[in-house]
Structure 1
Amino acid sequence: MRQKITLLSVLLSVLLLGACGQSNQSDQEFLTEFDGKLEHVHGIGYMGEKGIAFASHDGLKFYKEKTWYATTDQNNDYMGFNVVDKGFYTSGHPGKGSKLPNPLGIQKSSDDGKNLSDVAFEGDFDFHSMGVGDINHAIYVYNGHGNTQLSSGLHKTLDEGDSWERVKGEGINGEIVAIAVHPTNEKMIAVTTKNGVYLSEDGGEKFLPLEENVNGTAVYFSENKLWYGTFYSKPQLTTYDLEEETKEQISLPKLGQDAVAYFDKKQESDEMVIYTYQNHAYITKNKGEKWSQIVTSGKVD
């Protein structure tokens, strides 16, 4: 009996050490300083102590305190990237040497990207247009082509991918480019198309236009506001107060004929970051009064 207990103890110790080795990989092992180019960025977001994450075609890059870092593992081609309160959700394709299926379907990570786990459609879909609520983790995806698993159109899951529902999306003019989900209200989502910016408060069944006859480029929710980018002869960044239903223009750096492709805001702060279609990135710590460029044509500064 004592031998059985001893053997069981050894096995448990090995399993626990193995689990710790997988989930507690140190930042020194997982991150290395980076001085290269960002390519094919498909999402950005503030990721706690790691700084600002940039989801590129060869893994995550992080910007923190004027220093850039790159991941040494899980260097996947990330798309539909959404940072949430406990990690991130993403789609895309596996990177070189990865054992993940192609395409990724929807994956999530709760350890800053060291490990990924399947949410849905692994090996079947990659979603360029995907929104995930920061706290509620409600997932909305736009699927341009259907198959036996998922028809074309706008779909949502409120249970981590166990079940999916196609939503009507009435009122949307054009093909969806970007999706944002409110952090706590799973029924409130916003989308952009090349024809405007649209808001739904009934889970995506019906949308009302916030902007029309403009190119909607980026969209993001805080608890009380919707932030969105547009382009019509010049780029703009607008906040829409969800309670007051009022709009405010945010000053942008000189972008010329460029526009905001991705936007994120640091919680409880006036700090914001944008990434543009021409592969520039800027950060402001005073709500747009002054912007500092941190990426120029993909080259990190």
Structure 2
Amino acid sequence: MIQENHTALSDFIFVGYSELPVLEELLFAVFLLIYMSIITGNGLIIYIIMTDPILDTPMYFFLKNLAFLEILYTSVTLPKMLVNFVAQNKTISFVGCAAQIYFILFLGSIECFLLAAMAYDRYVAICNPLHYKLIICKELCLVLVTGSFIIPMPIHMGQIYLLFTLPYCGTREINNFFCDVLPVLELACADTIANEVYRVVASALIIVLPFCLIFASYVKIISVILKMSSVESRKKVFATCSSHIIVVSLFYGSGTIVYVSPRSKETLIVNKLLSLFYTILIPMLNPIIYSLRNEEVKVSLRKLFRKC
């Protein structure tokens, strides 16, 4: 069936905002600057964590993996988008579209689990500080990161199989800047109820379950903070969690709207904008959020700039 579809439909065409061609050069410049800032910002985070012994802790181990993930995540979509802004032929092959969707879902799911692991790390550090080093050991950190990579693999393979064994006929235009589940699903000329059910179940496992773990962790953390007698201690403890809370709110908020909300013509337009937000702007903002609100990261960056 995949071979038949590939024969009948050799490629897809991106629409994006092609109805406004005068903006394409401006969009190219803006997105190129964003991509460079993502590479630079997350690259700096990775470098200082790997070179500064002060940052050799489980929290920064997770942050290093998150920064590396953000670079991979944006590299799945942004280079192709940049090419499309300056190319006349804004197409992607059938197989290329399937690969792009898979890696968007796969890497996005890893980020969900990594954010949950980071919340658990903060929970143990604040709620059980005396046993922190015993519980959050290097072996557990490796298990959590490895599990974050392994768990989403089979889930999204099934979703891609269901999506690209559908018959596609008629229009080949994807109403987005890159291949994503909902815009491609709109092009199918068959019953997509199985895809819808699978999408909701997969989203519950990948988005809702980790979010529940994060929420439960912060309920415990907040209860401990409220019991502290010193206002200064409350501020100090909350400061260690504030960056993570902001990132979780931005990422899960936009991701939930796109992948869990019901489909309609109005939501597809909103989702096109939100998909840019969580695939491009959040990876750009993460290094800024963690560096501006984290004193240890700021100290390490100052050391690096002095050396330079």
TM-score calculated relative to the size of structure 1: 0.24
Higher strand proportion (structure 1 or 2):
1
Higher helix proportion (structure 1 or 2):
2
